[in-house]
């Protein structure tokens, strides 16, 4: 038995055969004993799903193939930031990208990636810090004196986005010392393109 773990049950499965029936391994004195064969066949029913899982074990640790309940289990292993109400496809992506996100946690890149993963929309991030270069000493410091971070999420339907969820995602991915605010706003309406003059006129 082999294949992916998606859809593979880990409990009793009617009709699932075992590759290693216990009856064939019994001593010869029990080989033709009806009671003994029927007794161990009941154990075969219990063991068959275990062999099935072991044959597919690699798939259980592959987020794209693992059963839905095991994806949630993997999420606890890798510390994926999940609320529990996300779609299965989103939970799979969160588990698959969790390690990479941990590497950039606390950075602008990591914050943007975490928000985009959770909501499918890249955020607008405004931060108080800055960087500048000057050939002369004692130049002005870049950025704002008061530390702060603002994350805006522009979506077509702001009512469909939970601002508390956005707050939780930003709180988990931001630099730990930085105060922040979040906002969910309507996406900007693209300005109509100016009509080009007709060359024949």
pLDDT tens column, 119-174: 989 999 998 888 888 888 888 888 888 888 999 999 989 898 889 999 999 998 99
pLDDT of residue 9: 52
Q: Between these two residues, 46 and 167, which has the higher pLDDT value?
A: 167
pLDDT of residue 3: 43
Q: Between these two residues, 54 and 189, which has the higher pLDDT value?
A: 54
Evaluate if residue 196 carries a pLDDT over 60: no
Evaluate if residue 1 carries a pLDDT over 50: no
Q: CA angle 192-119-169, nearest 5°?
A: 130
Least Cα distance to 50 among 22, 17, 77, 10 occurs for: 10
pLDDT of residue 109: 93
pLDDT of residue 150: 94
pLDDT of residue 176: 84
pLDDT of residue 198: 53
pLDDT of residue 189: 59
pLDDT of residue 4: 46
pLDDT of residue 13: 65
pLDDT averaged over every residue in the chain? 81
pTM to 2 decimal places: 0.63
Per the CB < 8 A criterion, the answer to whether 4 and 59 are in contact is yes
pLDDT of residue 180: 93
């Amino acid at each position: 038995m082999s294949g992916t773990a998606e859809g593979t049950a880990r409990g009793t499965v009617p009709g699932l055969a075992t590759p290693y029936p216990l009856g064939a391994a019994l001593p010869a004195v029990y080989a033709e004993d009806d009671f003994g064969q029927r007794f161990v066949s009941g154990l075969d029913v219990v063991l068959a799903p275990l062999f099935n899982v072991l044959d597919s074990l690699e798939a259980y640790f592959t987020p794209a193939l693992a059963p839905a309940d095991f994806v949630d289990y993997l999420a606890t292993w890798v510390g994926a930031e999940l609320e529990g109400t996300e779609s299965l496809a989103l939970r799979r992506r969160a588990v698959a990208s969790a390690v990479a996100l941990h590497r950039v946690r606390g950075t602008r890149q990591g914050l943007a990636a975490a928000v985009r993963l959770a909501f499918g929309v890249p955020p607008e991030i405004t931060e108080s810090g800055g960087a500048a270069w000057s050939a002369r000493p004692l130049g002005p410091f870049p950025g704002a004196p008061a530390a702060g971070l603002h994350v805006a999420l522009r979506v077509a339907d702001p009512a469909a986005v939970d601002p508390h969820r956005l707050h939780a995602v930003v709180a988990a991915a931001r630099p730990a010392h930085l105060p922040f605010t979040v906002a969910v706003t309507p996406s900007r309406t693209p300005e109509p393109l100016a009509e080009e003059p007709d060359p024949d006129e």
